Each structure stands twice: as C-alpha cells, then as structure tokens.
Amino acid sequence: MAEATLEPAAEAPVAEAPVDETPAAEPAEEPAAVDAAPEPAPEPAAPASQQKDDGEAPPAQASPKQAPTQAAPAPAPKYTAPLEVITDAEAMRAWSRAHRAAGRRVGLVPTMGYLHDGHLSLVNAALERADAIVVSIYVNPAQFAANEDFGTYPRDSEGDLAKLRALGVHAVFQPKALYRGGAPHGHDEGGASSMGGGEIEENQKIENQSSSSPPSEPPHETFVTVEETQKGFCSRTRPHFFRGVATVVCKLFNICEPDVAVFGKKDYQQWRLVRRMARDLDFAVDVAGVPLAREPDGLAMSSRNVRLTPTHRAAAVRISEVILLVKEVCELALINGTPKESRHMKGMIKEAIQNSGGIVDYVDIVEQRSLVPVWKGGVIPNVPQVILVAAKYGDVRLLDNVELFGEAD
Ligand code: AMP
C-alpha cells in the first residue's frame, strides 16, 4: 500500500486523487434523539462483578507514579452519577443497555490506562458527544508481541480513577482478562491461562489439551484484520499490532455497545484503521478523532514518555520541532513555491531526529484517508496530507504526526 506512489508528470506535479477513493466512514445513524437533560432513570441493579469506585481495582503492577497533569477545561457532564468500576463483560453490556433504554447516548473511550492529558482530551470530547461515558482501561495482550513491553507497560489504576472521577465519567470498564482460553502471544493476564491466539505453538496446543483439571477453555482464535490500512508504518516493526488493535476494539464495541467511540489522532494509523473497520463491518458506532495533545515543549503526550531518560526526554522534543517546522514551510512556502522543493522534507525530518540521538523507524508523508503518498517525491499543496513519524530514543518508541493542508474527514 505505502509503496503505491504516484509520480507527477515532469516537474510540475498535479495533485492526483488518492489511490483509495473510498470515503471515510460516515457517522453511523444516530440513535433516537436524547432529551437535552434526560431524567435520571432508575439505575440497573449492579451485579456482583460491577463495583462502585471504592471497590477493588485490579492489581496495579509496580510502576513509576505519574507526574500530575493538568486537564483541559472539561465540559460539564450531561448526566451525573458516581463513577462505577465494572470488570465483567456482561455487566458492562447491561450498564450500556440500561443507559440506552433510558434515552442516553453512550460514549466509549478505549485506553490502556496510565492516563495523561491526551487521554483526558478524549474524555472531554466524549462528554460533548454523549451522555453516559465509559472509559475502558485494558492493556491488550493481543497487540504486544511476546518480546514487547506488555508486562512492564505503566499502570496506575488509582490515579486513573481519580482523574476520571474528577471529570464526571460514569463508568470505567476494567476487565482483568478479555480473551477466553488465554491471552494471545503467551501473555499472562492476571492469572488467566496465557495460551491461545492464532500463533499458538503446536506443542503449547498439546500441553493445553492435556493439562490437568479443570480442562482449560479452547484458545481464542478469532482475529480481525483491516487488510490495507494496517499495512506499512507501525506494521513494519510490529506486524502483529493492528490485528490486535482491531480485534480488541471489536470486542469493546460488542461489549460496551457505544453510540460514539473516541480515539486520538496521536495514533493516526490506528484511528484510520478503526474508522475503516467500523464502516466495513457495519458497526453502528460513530468513531470520532481528537487532535494530538502535546506537552508544553511540544513532545506528543504518551504513557511511555515516563520511560525516557532525562537526556532522551530533552532530545525527543526535536521530533515535534522539526515536523511542525516542515508543516509551516509546506503550508506557507509551497502555496507559491513548487512541490519540487518539498522533496527534501522527509530527509530533513530524518536528519533532525538522527542528529538529536533518535533512531528513525519511519518518516512518511501521506494522504490522510488512504495513507498513501500523494507524490512520493514530497508534498502536494492543498491536498490534506499527514506527516507520520516513529522514532526510538533509547528503548522507548515514540509516535508523532502533523496534518498538512487541513483535515480530511
Ligand atoms: P493508549 O492508552 O495509548 O492506548 O491510548 C488510548 C487512546 O488515547 C488512543 O485513542 C490514543 O490515540 C489516545 N491518545 C494517546 N495519547 C494521545 C495524545 N497525546 N493526544 C491525543 N490522543 C492520545
């Protein structure tokens, strides 16, 4: 996909239509209109697996505590109720159905926790778009290969709940495990058998079948792939990643049954992929995208930033500096300049990152919906494109991006 580039004719390229002409997912049909201020309906009885926020949270792994973050001014919730922590899928579905039956629009914000202001901007967007808001906190084993940081992914359950409570979020869906029969890639989900997945080894299968009582459930074997959008970029180094993301988002949509789900454009390819999946599989979910939130010095906010050494933290700011500079150059200079001048943009970005001590994974400039370069030589004026970057500082892999020439649907 990413290789399907269009060469402009001679030296004066004309903006070609993106290869993928398919329109972005249209918002799903709205559910029945909701009163501006719906009467609080009787709450569904809370099953045993559904706890109020003073209930027991899943064990948090040892992690550095988060620096306090300043939430953006939050819209007032349209409906107020104490935060509920729900750990069971059936209870989650019942919660959502009860709210929808009461005429409330349900908004879902999927996260892996260790929340920062970027996540909270998604919550605020959900509060604007829906009445009853559920934030899922689940570190999804299916998107981590066996050698990746699933076990050490930062966690701070208490801190997360405090932040969400302060914003007026209504529920947190915090399952201990979501894959029956064991987590994919051999990860251990808090005591659940860690077998299963499409990549289960033959000897593991045998072990699973012959294990002593009680016999384990058959492994999870159903996965979702978004054939084209998942190609390239993050897939080059993490080939398993988007299958894991698409699968868990499908599961969360089926469990939480939201009217609207909010994702961050920080993970740009992921956001496009989820929209495409929702459209292709006819989910009645409006998938909204929220702009990337940055630290005051420009670094894209990420749960993994806490792992940067002070030296790498200072150096990593170069990513945002250079891509924001290139955006300015392209949008101002290119209007009256020639696209030929933009040939050097990708090289400039790579060099700046490398000179700051980063290892570039990829730098690409692509059309926003198809994720295909409009012109492999550089940037075409007035066509919505996005600069996508992934780079490592030490062992921390960072993503960043910036949209050029507006924002496609
Ligand atoms: P994560 O917990 O990293 O899986 O992220 C959960 C959601 O938050 C995803 O939709 C991310 O794209 C979004 N997100 C994470 N960081 C940011 C950020 N800096 N700005 C906007 N959205 C973000």
pLDDT of 119-128, one tens digit each?
A: 999 999 999 9
Share of the chain above pLDDT 90, in %: 62
CA 85 – ligand 1 centroid, Å: 21
Please check the confidence at residue 225 and state whether its pLDDT lies above 80: yes
- pLDDT value at residue 332: 84
pLDDT tens digit sequence for 315-361 = 999 999 999 999 998 888 766 666 666 778 999 999 999 999 999 99
155 lines ligand 1 (CB under 6 A): no
CA 337 – ligand 1 centroid, Å: 35
CA 236 – ligand 1 centroid, Å: 20
Please check the confidence at residue 18 and state whether its pLDDT lies above 50: no
pLDDT tens digit sequence for 167-197 = 999 999 999 999 998 888 878 775 443 333 3
How much is the pTM? 0.79
Please check the confidence at residue 286 and state whether its pLDDT lies above 80: yes
- pLDDT value at residue 215: 56
- pLDDT value at residue 381: 86
- In this structure, the residue with its CA closest to atom 12 of ligand 1 is 264
CA distance 201 to 208: 10
pLDDT tens digit sequence for 292-324 = 999 999 999 998 999 999 999 999 999 999 999
Residue 378 per-residue DSSP state: B
Q: Taking Cα atoms as reference points, which of 393, 150, 130, 139 lies closest to residue 261?
A: 130
**Residue 370 in contact with residue 385, Cβ under 8 Å?**
no
* Residue in 99, 116, 119, 170 annotated catalytic: 119
Mark whether 119 is an active-site residue: yes
**Residue 122 in contact with residue 262, Cβ under 8 Å?**
yes
Could you tell me the CA-to-CA distances from 161 to 105, 165, 255 in Å, in that order? 22, 6, 20
- pLDDT value at residue 213: 44
**Residue 398 in contact with residue 390, Cβ under 8 Å?**
yes
303 lines ligand 1 (CB under 6 A): yes
- pLDDT value at residue 335: 60
- pLDDT value at residue 74: 76
Cβ contacts of 405 within 8 Å, gap of 6 or more: 330, 331, 381, 382, 383, 384, 385
Could you tell me the CA-to-CA distances from 45 to 98, 99, 138 in Å, in that order? 10, 12, 24
CA distance 201 to 176: 24
Q: How would residue 149 be classed by pLDDT, with cut points 50, 70 and 90?
A: confident
- pLDDT value at residue 104: 98
**Residue 107 in contact with residue 135, Cβ under 8 Å?**
no
Residue 21 per-residue DSSP state: -
Q: Residue 338, Cβ neighbours under 10 Å: how many?
A: 14
- pLDDT value at residue 334: 63
Mean pLDDT of the chain: 80
- pLDDT value at residue 12: 30
Please check the confidence at residue 42 and state whether its pLDDT lies above 60: no
Positive or negative, the Cα torsion across 109, 248, 177, 66? negative
CA distance 323 to 361: 15
- pLDDT value at residue 263: 98
- pLDDT value at residue 51: 39
pLDDT tens digit sequence for 52-72 = 333 333 233 333 333 334 445
Least confident piece of the model among 17-31, 211-225, 310-324: 17-31
Nearest ligand 1 atom to alpha carbon 112: 2
Q: Which of 63, 66, 108, 111 to mutate to test ligand 1, by most ligand atoms within 8 A of the CB atom?
A: 111
